[in-house]
Structure 1
């Protein structure tokens, strides 16, 4: 048996290789930071659905076991769960497993919880977004205790409590890796930016409507939406219909690094998502020096550079105020460094004086 302490992470998907920066960026940043902060910890990732092929590979010195589920139907899912169970049993024989961490309260948490109960291991489930909404059948199947749940934000913890009567004991937001940011741009040539998947939940049609209203005061406003998804064509038609071809650019899919570079050229970052656990783009935009305007407020305490607007008119008012401010400052604000986030999760499994409990997670400037 390998006597190194081993943490098993269960996830629906994971980067196919070290260049795959667009697959669950917050989670892959966290896993990398976890290994960096605790290099002696053996981390093994079991990915249920993606990559689509069955294979084992090394990712930043960590073992990844991809089971290639491909999100197929019910019969395939049962077979997949059996493969996961057998894999966990084998790992349990070969390694000193200190616990399991599941991303999202779904099938990963369901299997992880059952295995942990049977073999006396710690198990935590990180509630990351829509899994906190009503209608999640896995909550009933898992029947978790509050001590087992990590909520991504204050708002998400309240959502779990309202919908399921469970109060997550731990609240750990996403972190950012400052080493991924380049030198700040000398000129902020993007007035307004949005970034994320082009899906209905993100409400980018509202983003475009906000730009249309802003053109009354700022006819040459330059706005950018970074991302790809099923709403792309509808947004293109909306931009043409509103005659905003010279004002709104749809970049399509970009690498994570390219998105961060654009944030560093941006004056105001606008987040129009109708529902959010805690979008990592909010923390990234803050560190990039942008003023952040959002419909949702993930944490009860946010930096003063974060501003909530509760409807379209409030969003327009906030953005116009910033664009009209000739002395608008763009100081980087580090909210939730990934190293602190990794340490907080480590503390759940290992009571170690080397971790940074109570570390201040808001820093201004570089």
Structure 2
């Protein structure tokens, strides 16, 4: 049994299938790469409950990844939990675990809390998405526990407290600035980035574009993302006569997404909810202007207009498109150093 160094175990529903996979939970990938470099003497292990769809362990940027291969099958849930507890027990025996860091208030936080409580191991949960909403039965397990709860934005922190009376500290994500291409001349007027689902609210997005096209018939709009709503979105674009204005690009690699951002003027983001919104950081660092709802890390500034109604969105887009002749400027909201330092401080407490 090796007791020589700190051992952090991360629990997450999913993770990258290899170092070539850049699209699976990119914020978590960016964080773990930076943490690995900072904590070069620590052992880092990650258990992925549902995907990748594999049972073969592998090394990802110096971190051991153990897929449990749940494949999002409900009938496998209890089996996966037992498997996770068994692996944690074996791992703890061979390399004593000093910290368990769970992502999402869900099965990972449940198992992380269950295992850590019995062994007096520090447990941290980062609230990642819609897990702050009402109806999340896993929250009750954390309310009277000693778990440290982290939210990603003030909006998310307020929602978690409002819905569950659960206190948290905010530690935002950051971006890897070295992965961004040079700023380009804008040849895309409006860019949409995000999964094609109801939460992202693309029906409103398309309706807004329809109004803008009446004034700007040559408006060029591209949407990056894939999802269950694609067929209905394609139908809406066709019915509104916008096929010459809006292109659906489907899912793109992270590298290609950043290249598109470097070529675009305005990020239009009318999503009904964001826990954080990594896309906002990416857009600002790509020199884009943003029009969005008050979600995630949204904040009003000279590059960002926050709107409550479609009419406000239309006006804001029109204003920013008129300002598109201005030279692009990169903006960086959160630094890698601040986030990594905050988490390491929490790990060390």
> Normalized against structure 1, the TM-score is what?
0.91
Q: 1:325 Cα shift?
A: 2.1
SS in 1 for 2:115: helix
TM-superposition CA deviations, 1:292-316 (whole Å, max 9, x none) = 1111242475654222011111111
Distance 1:144 1:240 in 2: 52
* From 245, 249, 270, the counterpart of 2:243: 245
Q: Residues 26 and 144 (structure 1 numbering): CA distance in 2 closer, same or farther, change over 3 Å? A: farther
Distance 1:205 1:273 in 2: 10
TM-superposition CA deviations, 1:304-347 (whole Å, max 9, x none) = 42220111111110010011125434210012233432222121
Give the aligned partner of residue 88 of structure 1. Answer: 88
Q: 1:148 Cα shift?
A: 1.3
Give the paired residue count. Answer: 348
Residues 1:65 and 2:66 are matched in the alignment: yes
Distance 2:228 2:97 in 1: 41
Q: 1:97 Cα shift?
A: 2.0
Distance 1:116 1:303 in 2: 43
Distance 1:58 1:325 in 2: 47
Distance 2:81 2:302 in 1: 45
- Contact 2:265–2:324 (8 Å) recurs in 1: no
Distance 2:22 2:279 in 1: 14
SS in 2 for 1:55: coil
Residues 1:192 and 2:193 are matched in the alignment: no
> Normalized against structure 2, the TM-score is what?
0.96
TM-superposition CA deviations, 1:198-228 (whole Å, max 9, x none) = 1111011111111111012211111110011
Q: Aligned Cα RMSD in Å?
A: 1.6
Distance 1:133 1:115 in 2: 25
Q: 1:25 Cα shift?
A: 1.1
SS in 2 for 1:197: coil
Please list every run of 5 or more consecutive structure 1 residues that lacks an aligned counterpart in the other structure. 352-366
- Contact 1:291–1:330 (8 Å) recurs in 2: no
Distance 1:304 1:154 in 2: 20
Distance 2:313 2:327 in 1: 19
Residues 1:307 and 2:305 are matched in the alignment: yes
Q: 1:29 Cα shift?
A: 1.3
Give the aligned partner of residue 18 of structure 1. Answer: 19
Please list every run of 5 or more consecutive structure 2 residues that lacks an aligned counterpart in the other structure. none
SS in 2 for 1:108: helix
Distance 2:179 2:156 in 1: 27
Q: 1:142 Cα shift?
A: 3.5
SS in 1 for 2:199: helix
Q: Residues 165 and 84 (structure 1 numbering): CA distance in 2 closer, same or farther, change over 3 Å? A: same
Distance 2:283 2:81 in 1: 38
SS in 2 for 1:219: coil
TM-superposition CA deviations, 1:53-104 (whole Å, max 9, x none) = 2111011111001110111124x21111111001111111111322111110
Give the aligned partner of residue 317 of structure 1. Answer: 315
SS in 2 for 1:27: helix
SS in 2 for 1:201: coil
TM-superposition CA deviations, 1:241-283 (whole Å, max 9, x none) = 1111111110001001100110111111011110110110011
Matches of residues 1-366 of structure 1 in structure 2 within 5 Å? 1-2=1-2, 3-74=4-75, 76-145=76-145, 148-168=148-168, 170-185=169-184, 187-299=185-297, 303-325=301-323, 327-350=325-348
